């Protein structure tokens, strides 16, 4: 954890900037919030595998796009960025509990629009079924989502490469920087899919780097993933799938597309 971030002074006044660490469940989490308004947007970062990468730095362009019109918060999950390390493997309950506890501690109990980028989509999937009353919309930014696990469950992913492959699962949970059990995250959210809130969702897919071209999970997965993304998006209330003129890092290459998706969600939610 970087020692230069101060402790956040609590309670946080409504609309005040937040830039520091907050103690949640016995460990410090780095959090940054700017702007004002309701609902708050929460950016959920992707899979960080190198020390020193922070959500605040990685999503600066997206925060700048959204902050004039919304309150925008980002945070570093435990073990990465400026947040503190925790012992053992992180379970879905721990990951969801950190997010919920963090926002409660800084005085923002929701509701939220979740912006899940890449692996942050797993966190959005899990949080939405754990706290459906606190979620009013979701933007998936070329993101992982719980229904992907169905492809591995039916043998469409070769042995040795999926998140539930025993060796990959061990590496994710014990050797990676984040130490999250990705298999458990997918399954935990998917098994609770009946609890998903009836809210708008936009799935933004990278036109320049579609998963069907980039994936290493095998040809059956590559053929099935984009139709699954599309059907997943269509299952929300309402939901839509959009190709974006960008590579995988839509949040930095085309942040306006994410901003447009958020504004569409707000408009749909106010109907």
pLDDT at 104: 96
List, for residues 81-101, the tens digit of each pLDDT value: 999 999 999 999 999 999 999
Domain membership flag for residue 90 = yes
Q: What b-and-e string marks burial along 81-111, b requiring 16 or more CB atoms within 10 Å of the CB?
A: bbbbebeebbebebbbbbbbebbebbebebb
Q: Residue for token digits 């942040």?
A: 255
| pLDDT above 60 for 3 | no
Mean pLDDT of the chain: 93
For residue 97, the SS3 value is helix
pLDDT at 1: 43
Domain membership flag for residue 109 = yes
Mean pLDDT (whole number) for 31-50: 94
Number of structural domains found in the chain: 1
Provide the pairing of β-strand 201-206 with 135-141. parallel
Domain holding 177: CATH number? 3.40.50.1820
| pLDDT above 90 for 154 | no
Q: Which of 270, 269, 260 is nearest to 69 (CA)?
A: 260
Helices 92-105 + 182-191 axis angle, to 10: 80
Domain membership flag for residue 102 = yes
**In degrees rounded to 5, what are phi and psi of residue 21?**
-115, 150
Alpha carbons 254 and 62: distance in angstroms, whole number: 9
Of 67-81, 89-103, 158-172, which gets the smallest average pLDDT?
Answer: 158-172
Domain membership flag for residue 223 = yes
Domain membership flag for residue 5 = no
98: containing domain: 18-269
Tokens of 189: 């959210």
Taking a C-beta distance cutoff of 8 angstroms, is the pair 257, 216 a contact? no
Domain membership flag for residue 4 = no
Alpha carbons 2 and 184: distance in angstroms, whole number: 29
Q: Which of 233, 234, 215, 235 is nearest to 224 (CA)?
A: 215
List, for residues 14-40, the tens digit of each pLDDT value: 889 999 999 998 999 999 999 998 999
Domain membership flag for residue 245 = yes
Domain membership flag for residue 214 = yes
């Amino acid at each position: 954890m970087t020692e230069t971030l101060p402790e956040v002074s609590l309670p946080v006044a409504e609309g005040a900037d937040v830039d520091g660490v907050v103690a949640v469940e016995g460990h410090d989490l780095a959090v940054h919030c700017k702007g004002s308004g309701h609902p708050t947007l929460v950016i959920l970062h992707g899979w960080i595998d190198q020390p020193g990468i922070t959500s605040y730095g990685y999503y600066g362009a997206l925060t700048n796009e959204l902050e004039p019109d919304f309150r925008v918060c980002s945070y570093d999950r435990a073990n990465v960025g400026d947040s503190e390390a925790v012992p053992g493997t992180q379970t879905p309950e721990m990951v969801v509990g950190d997010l919920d506890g963090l926002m409660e501690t800084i005085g923002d109990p929701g509701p939220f629009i979740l912006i899940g980028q890449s692996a942050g989509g797993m966190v959005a999937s899990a949080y939405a079924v754990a706290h459906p009353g606190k979620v009013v919309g979701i933007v998936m930014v070329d993101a992982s989502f719980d229904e992907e696990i169905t492809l591995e469950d039916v043998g469409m992913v070769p042995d040795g490469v999926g998140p539930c492959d025993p060796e990959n699962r061990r590496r994710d949970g014990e050797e990676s920087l984040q130490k999250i059990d990705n298999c458990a995250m997918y399954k935990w959210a998917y098994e609770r899919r009946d609890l998903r809130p009836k809210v708008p969702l936009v799935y933004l897919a990278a036109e320049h780097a579609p998963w069907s071209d980039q994936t290493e999970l095998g040809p059956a997965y590559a053929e099935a993933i984009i139709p699954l993304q599309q059907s997943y998006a269509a299952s929300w209330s309402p939901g839509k799938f959009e190709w974006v003129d960008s590579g995988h890092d839509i949040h930095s290459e085309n942040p306006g597309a994410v901003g447009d998706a958020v504004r569409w969600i707000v408009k749909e939610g106010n109907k």
